[in-house]
Amino acid sequence: MSFIKLWIAILLLCATNIIGQEVENTKALKINQFGIYDTDLLPASFHKKNREKLRSFMPNNSVAVFFSSPVKNRSNDVDFQYHQDPNFYYLTGLREPHSILILLKTPVDINGEQTNEVLFVQPKDESKEIWTGKRIGKIGAELLLEVETALDNTTFNAIDFNFEEFDQVFHFPLATDIKDNPFDKSDLNNLCLQFGAKLSKTEPDKINQSKPFEWLNRLREIKTEEELVLMRKAIAITCEAQIELIKALEPNMTEFQSEAIIEYIFKSNGAEYPGFPSILGSGENSCVLHYNTNRKTMTGDNLLVSDVGAEYHGYTADVTRTIPVNGTFSQEQKIIYDIVLKAQEAGIKKCKEGNSFWDPNIAATSVVSQELQKLGIIKSPIGVRKYFMHGTSHYLGLDVHDVGTYLPLKVNSVITVEPGIYIPEGSPCDKKWWNIGVRIEDDVLITSDKPEVLSDCIPKTTNEIEKLMKEPSVFNRKNK
């Protein structure tokens, strides 16, 4: 290549990079105008495909209606931070309240246009946005969410939309815990009332509230590559938090201080929320399955059950580790812990395509039952449910207890494997076992080959945990 040609190639490359960067900057600027700052959200094409898939389930001459999640009131005039209904988010990508999605099997005329989907959203309103943040409005909904038709929710009541003309109308049961804003005639409460009035003349046998559950359970059970990227991110954040807690844990810390470490790591890595109230239960609280008061001061002989999960862009992790507060498992704690670990390993081996959803539970329960009988803690197999009273697995995704079909395991579904043993004080066994609660939980991706444990970056054996606890942490109040 000549010198001149080389320089021309370099200049063209630089120009291409500059133009590409300008396009990205312009795109980011447009998104920022709507109050959206994350650059790794699910693309609009993902939600559009989901609408198309759901529409393929619908019979001819039918319509499906979906509502956003209600705003939840905390107390007086303070609401909880808003969290979108997972099904609504799955179909739209919208994270704002007071909205309706209407999906049609075939296009109909709405406002003089033929369309097969309409998303009703909050209108742009500077006087309200200065209090609660920017809204995307109907222009943003069409531009960013790529819905075919978007309209202000203030127009829903006036739209001439006759549900009687359809052979079937599908919708979830309407929420009953909706806060009514007397100053907003288009809030979710009023939208539901308006929908009810529009639906009132439709024959009852045309209305179906069960099929939407069936359809979305089927769709959401199988994760796309785009979803798995976000799930891996949520799980990686959770793993980092658990590792940091293991290193930082020491006697006389409070449960809420351990929670603070976990949730600091969540937030510092961009997670919007915990996927569920963080469970940090020590001592007697390790035997309370969904304990989340997190106020106890931990003593050296306590075990701490840390059951936590970061939520990243809607997708949550769910990972549990059980940690000795003083850095060393007692003999009894180690015995119970190793049984749970053995049970979990047996459960994970059953996480294979085509196996029953319940196979991991059967395998894990069998191990726990046999081992507790050997120790004399239970007398017969039926006694296992006294100390292991929950299932071993649940689906994971947009909900921590995600939806699914519970049919044989499928490739690209994600489930947890989380056996446990909980022996509260007063149990009918030797006192040396009292107040030992152990749960070990990992998030497992079903593949066409062996299962992939997405959260295996956190140590699990007693020796590995004790070794990690000797390492320093930025949260330690004293040097180890």
Q: So which residues are the catalytic ones?
A: 77, 290, 307, 318, 390, 394, 401, 418, 422, 439, 441
Q: Tokens in use for 220? A: 């959401």
Cα–Cα dist 31/144, whole Å: 8
Q: Are strands 113-121 and 149-152 parallel, antiparallel or unpaired?
A: parallel
Contact yes or no for 298/325 (Cβ under 8 A)? yes
Cα–Cα dist 352/316, whole Å: 22
Give just the sign of the alpha carbon dihedral 438, 440, 441, 447.
Answer: negative
Cα–Cα dist 479/376, whole Å: 41
Per-residue three-class SS string for the chain: CCHHHHHHHHHHHHHHHHHHHHHHHHHHHHHHCCCCCCCCCCCHHHHHHHHHHHHHHCCCCEEEEEECCCCCEEECCEECCCCCCHHHHHHHCCCCCCCEEEEEEEEEEECCEEEEEEEEECCCCHHHHHHHCCCCHHHHHHHHCCCCEEEEHHHCCCCCCCHHHCCEEEECCCCCCCCCCCCCCCCHHHHHHHHHHHHCCCCHHHEECCHHHHHHHHHHHCCCHHHHHHHHHHHHHHHHHHHHHHHHCCCCCEHHHHHHHHHHHHHHCCCCEECCCCEEEEHHHHHCCCCCCCCCECCCCCEEEEEECEEECCEECCEEEEEECCCCCCHHHHHHHHHHHHHHHHHHHCCCCCCCCCHHHHHHHHHHHHHHHHHCCCCCHHHHHHCCCCCCCCECCCCCCECCCCCCCCCCCEEEECCEEEECCCCCCCHHHCCEEEECEEEEECCCCCCEECCCCCCCCHHHHHHHHCCCCCCCCCCC
